[in-house]
Structures are given as structure tokens and as C-alpha cells.
Amino acid sequence: MIHEGINSGENVSMVRHFVLLGFSDLLNLQRFLSGVFAIIYLNILNGNSLIIIIAILDPALQRPMYFFLANFSSLEICYVSVTLPRMLFNLWTQKRNISMFGCTIQLCLILMLRTTESFLLAVMSYDLYVVICHALCYPLLMNPKKCAQLAAGSWLCGILVQIGQTCQIFTLHFCNSNQIPHLFCDIPPILKLACGDTSAHKMSVYVVVMLVGAVPFMLILASNCKIISTILRLPTVQGQTKAFSTCSSHLLVVVLVFGSASITYFRPKSSHSAGTDKLLSLFYTIVMPMFNPLIYSLRNKDLIAALKKIIS
């Protein structure tokens, strides 16, 4: 397929679509990549759906921790479904065009889900903080109504902010090219296509990232410092080991999520390249949703016991 470009002097109203270049430079691997991504997509759907089903069906898992974990698994399914099917479509058909409206919707959904992820991880850290540091008050502090409010707040808190940011980005003029050297519509590669001064837009992006990323991270950091302090004061090694086992999986996911986000948005400009951006996107979009069910379940005896019960 011939990729269409936009002449720098062309009026912005003529820009009707973008071209997601994706893996167009790997022509000999198109079928292989599509097969690998299709298998990964099915595994992500199955793994996260299994956690949701177990959390709903098993009476022993009717606790806030598994309620939030089911929400997190639902988030992973939504996030990967916004990006991977489009990538598969591009690989299968070699039609890489995406309309301006389609790109806007995809970017807006990605930003919303990333925001939800940050706040949901903060809520899960708060749940661990309460269960370890205030065990006696746990049923009162984390009652079903409070859990539902915290989960709903995580899903809804980023909608207005990210809709506004998405609209702001797509008010830019795209006059240099319409080819996005990326796997899906994301802020950095789209801003590179804009003509004129984009410094104000870049600054607003950093402000929003700090708001929806740094604030939840600071809450997570404060919660986990208090959790670790409480665990170290437990009288027995067995109690300390059990408590660390409870929160270790969550800590690992937090490090992976916020670590990859920090590298994506805050690494030096000199290290930016289309290849590096694609690798980071693959890690964030595919690898993490695929391994998160394993991270949370392999070290969780309750989930393993519930899975054995369902299988038997």
C-alpha cells in the first residue's frame, strides 16, 4: 500500500486521516506478527476474564481486594482491546489508514484508561494499607459501598481531564505529514506531526501527566511506606512473610506501570526514536496485560485454590 503524505502548504481542512505505519518496515514478518499478536490477545482476554469470573463466583473471594482486582482485570481487557484489534487489522489487511475521528477516539480512550489505571492502583494500595495497618477497622473502612465508590471514582476521575486534553491536541494543524510512525495513536508521535509551536501543548501534557500520574504515585508511595513500616514491626517472621506476600505482587505491578510510563514521557529527547517508542508501547500495551494475571495469581493461594475448585 502506498502511504499518503500531506504537503506542508496544504490546508489543514484537507487532513482527513492519518496513516499508522506500525510494522510496515517489516514486510516479511507481517503474518508472523499477526499470529503472535492474535495468540497474545486471546491469552490476555482469557487470563483477565478468568480472574473476573473467579472473583465473582467464589464466595471465599467476596472481599475488597478481589473486587478491585476484578476491576483491574476489566481495565486491562478494555485497554488492550482499544489497541491490539486495530494493530491486527493493519497487519491482516495492510490498510493502515485511520480517520481523524477514529484516531481522536482511540487516543482519548487510551488516555482515560491510563488515568483509571493510575488511580485504581492507588485505591488497591489504600486497601492493602487498611488491611495491614488498620485490620480491626477494615470491615468499617472498606465496606461494599465505600469500595464501589472508590472503584467508580477511579473509572470516572480522568474522563473530563482527558477529553479536554484530547480536544486540545486535535485543534493543532497537521501540515507536515499524516504518517504516524507508531503502533496506535499516542500523544508523542501525534505532536511530532503538528506544525507551528507546540510548546504550550507539550507543557499541558506534562501537567496532566503529573496530575494523573504523580499524585496517585505519591499516594501509593505513602501507603507502601506505612505498610512496610507496620510489617517490620510484626513480632514473628511468619507474620512478616505472609504480609509481604500479600503486597509484593501489587508492588511489582506498580513498579512496572509507573516505571514504563515515566520512561515513555520523561526520557531525554535524544533517546526518542520510532523503534524505541514501538518497543515501549509493546511492553505497556501487550506484555503487562499478559503478565498481570500471572503476577497477581501465582503468589496468591486463594486465587489458586479457587481456580482448582472451578476446574474440578
What does the alpha-carbon distance between residue 158 and residue 41 come to, in Å, rounded to a whole number? 26
Burial grade of 275 (CB within 10 A; 0-12, 13-18, 19 or more): exposed
- Tell me, rounded to whole angstroms, the distance of Cα 78 from its chain centroid: 9
- Please tell me the predicted confidence (pLDDT) of residue 61: 83
What does the alpha-carbon distance between residue 269 and residue 276 come to, in Å, rounded to a whole number? 12
Question: Tell me: the pLDDT tens digits for 43-53?
Answer: 999 989 988 98
Vertex 78 angle, CA 43 and 166, to 5°? 140
Owner of C-alpha cell 484516531: 103
Question: Tell me: the pLDDT tens digits for 148-189?
Answer: 999 999 998 878 788 888 888 888 888 767 888 888 888 888
Phi, psi of 98 (to 5 degrees): -135, 130
- Please tell me the predicted confidence (pLDDT) of residue 172: 81
- Please tell me the predicted confidence (pLDDT) of residue 82: 93
- Please tell me the predicted confidence (pLDDT) of residue 176: 65
Residues of the chain with pLDDT under 50: 1-13
Phi, psi of 179 (to 5 degrees): -95, 120
Taking the CA atoms of 104, 106, 107 and 112 in sequence, report the sign of the dihedral they define: positive
- Please tell me the predicted confidence (pLDDT) of residue 210: 82
- Whether the CB-CB separation of 295 and 271 falls below 8 Å is answered with no
Phi, psi of 110 (to 5 degrees): -60, -45
State the pairing for strand pair 97-99/17-20: antiparallel
Give CA separation, 97 vs 136, 298, 309, in Å. 57, 41, 47
What type of residue is 133? C
Phi, psi of 163 (to 5 degrees): -65, -45
